[in-house]
Amino acid sequence: MARYRLHCIGASGNSYKLALYMNCAGLDWEPVGVDFAGGQTRDANWRAGTNAMGEVPVLEVDGKRMSQSGAILVWLAETTGKFALDGDEERFEALRWILFDNHKFTNNHAMHRFQRSFMSEPVHPAILAFLRSRTEASFAIAEKHLTDRAFVLGDRPIIADFSMAGYVYYPPDETGFDIAADYPALDAWRRRLAALLGWKPPYELMPFGSDLRTTRMRIAPGSAERKQEQH
């Protein structure tokens, strides 16, 4: 059994952040499938034993189970030294971008994608328009920031890059955004990440529940899964 076990689904970009980090860092890890569409994360026993917050990803290591992708990325960098931060100033800047990612960049993109592609009934156009505008605003900030730098903080990838990479490799027909066509700096950045040894797209790194679209009719319109389900 691998040392690091990632409880995840292929459609979870927040899970992908950790899967991609561990693969590029050369860590001994393996994915553990979670039946999200079947309600496993809502099961009381799963929450009691795996994650009381009822979300993926969960990283299991040395008998401990951890949740929240941003916090896990910090822990992994500090305990393995891979893609780590250099000094207090860089740590602050990395955390600033990780929090921006979780609050806006990933959050808006993930919610738009989920409502657009994975709901069992069509979502009102006004909701999608609202989420799309918020995603575009977040993308514009990242696009400007990455125009004159290779990675989030400079010339080398760090954990903030993996955090922001969570949802940028899913196909445009699923997300509703064509990054290659509309955001050249973001696209150049994600291509630099894709050139790292160990890079693979989400559904290859996490083959479990690889496409919620095939099971979305099992997700009731009024269920908790209308909310963003991964952190």
pLDDT tens, residue by residue, 63-98: 999 999 999 999 999 999 999 999 999 999 999 999
CATH label of the domain that carries residue 45:
3.40.30.10
Rg (CA), the chain: 17
**Do 8 and 41 share a domain, yes or no?**
yes
Structural domain span for residue 167: 87-194
Average pLDDT, the chain: 91
Tell me how many helices (H) and strands (E) the chain has. 11, 4
CA dist 50 and 64 (Å) reads 9
Q: Is a pLDDT exceeding 90 seen at residue 222?
A: no
| Dihedral over alpha carbons 178, 181, 183, 184 (to 10 degrees) | 140
Residue 227 reports pLDDT greater than 50: no
Q: How far apart, in whole angstroms, are the C-alpha atoms of residue 104 and residue 110?
A: 10
Distance, CA of 33 to CA of 176 (rounded, Å)? 26
Domain membership flag for residue 180 = yes
Please check whether residue 231 lies inside any domain of the structure.
no
Any domain includes 179? yes
pLDDT-based confidence at 35, cuts 50/70/90? confident
Q: What percent of the chain has pLDDT over 70?
A: 90
How far does Cα 136 stand from its chain's mean position?
18
Number of domains within the chain: 2
Instruction: State the virtual CA torsion across 172, 200, 139, 100 in degrees, nearest 10.
Output: 140
Q: Which two tokens stand for residue 122?
A: 């069509």
